[in-house]
Amino acid sequence: MAGGRTVTLKERVSTLTAASEADRAWRFWLTLPIYPYRKRRTVRTEVTPDTIWTFDQVQGILYVVVPIRMTVVRLTGGGLLVYAPVAPTGECLELVNELVAIHGDVKYIILPTISGLEHKVFVGPFAQKFPQAQVWVTPDQWSFPVNLPLSWLGLPSNRTQILPADSRQTPFGDEFDYAILDTINLGPGQFAEVAFFHRRSRTLLVTDTIISISIEPPQILQLEPYPLLFHARDRSSDLLTDTLPHRIKGWQRICLFALYFQPSVLEIRNWGAALRESFTAADRSQQSYFGLYPFQWQSGWEQRFAGLRKDGRLLVAPILQTLILNRAPKQTIDWVDRVAQWDFQQIIPCHFDAPITATPQQFRAAFTFLELHSLPDTDLPAADFHLLRQIEQQLERWRIIFPAKEKI
């Protein structure tokens, strides 16, 4: 249920430059060594004409890939605000600088999370490319295994500031409101997020707390569809045939995999049997993990995806429901209530679909799982949370995370 101006496939593809492999290279990939490793493509999409643009890249593990998104907003007085930077490859920078040439310099760069390494790792390199920009970060930043100063993490010390509690104390406070989800202490780690509201376009920007799932794979994944086709197979002997139905099938399975880790309709086969079958695999290349394919999807997985997506509804990812937000239900709901006071009409998260046409009431309803009076969501079966519950119990037993608190 994407909102905003309808963007055709032709328009999306037209935003891509004829970039060489070097333009898509990300030389700091070892700081977060996940797919697509050394090379990252970028798709720019105009969400609100001459006002808001998204920049999508890809990230994942074991070909379980999803979009990671940066949002750029034009300021009324000239210049740009960047929310949650992505990797500043040559291709990405060219697409940003096309906007700079029209609308003015990047003035502000926002790091809206304290725990999302996949967001934090790009802020320093991105800020280095725009030396005139101020960097504003969420309070209580931390790093693991050693809590290092921000400058040691690559953020420019002479122009990095902490977001104050009151958005009016910032130089962009005349155009944006924001609400900081107070730091949730998980144990050794912490979680926090800052939601930004752009008043003029009535757009809410969030990082990880809310998502919506598209029925078809996002355009950024379709540029290099190998991960989609890899997960569309039923067995290792299947050929990776590139058709739209196979791309959709692979995407829907990836969503179940990414959000549940192991839904009840997915069986991980015995590794001995998977190894034996790898010798008869249709593709035994290194790209295909030498034919290893231990995933066995059971009948009914399509219905599980339909329940998870539920017509593109707003969703708090199961991992956040199970391991993070339930550690602080009251402060989460307090934050949600603050956000729901804004009169937004679309939401741009950093992952999965965007933009999402949604009301504050729909946003608020997505968090009722933290409340005592809420009914179980029958579209999210308890069986699909089984592995996440096991992880939760083990982490609590090892005292890596604090126990969940009672619902409010």
CATH number at residue 343: 3.60.15.10
Do 159 and 91 have their domain in common?
Answer: yes
Do 198 and 239 have their domain in common?
Answer: no
What is the overall mean pLDDT for the chain? 93
Do 82 and 124 have their domain in common?
Answer: yes
Does residue 3 surpass a pLDDT of 70?
no
Starting at the earlier edge strand, list the strands of the sheet with 43-48: 43-48, 52-61, 64-74, 80-83, 106-111, 134-137, 160-162
Query: Lowest-confidence range among 29-33, 147-151, 216-220, 375-379?
Result: 147-151
Do 67 and 16 have their domain in common?
Answer: yes
Rg (alpha carbons) of the chain, rounded to whole number = 21
Do 299 and 335 have their domain in common?
Answer: no
Does residue 160 surpass a pLDDT of 80?
yes
Do 55 and 82 have their domain in common?
Answer: yes
Displacement of CA 327 from its chain's centroid (Å): 21
Do 287 and 240 have their domain in common?
Answer: yes
Answer whether 0.85 is exceeded by the pTM: yes
Q: What is the per-residue pLDDT across 244-298, written as a single tens digit (0 to 9) for each?
A: 999 999 999 999 999 999 999 999 999 999 999 999 999 999 999 999 999 999 9
The number of distinct structural domains making up the chain is 2
Confidence of residue 145 (pLDDT cuts 50, 70, 90): low
Domain that holds residue 263: 225-309
404 is a domain residue: no
Peptide bond into 131 cis (omega under 30): no
What was the pLDDT predicted at 213? 98
Do 197 and 320 have their domain in common?
Answer: yes
What was the pLDDT predicted at 17? 41
The DSSP symbol for 35 reads B
Do 86 and 109 have their domain in common?
Answer: yes
Cβ(19)–Cβ(93) below 8 Å: no
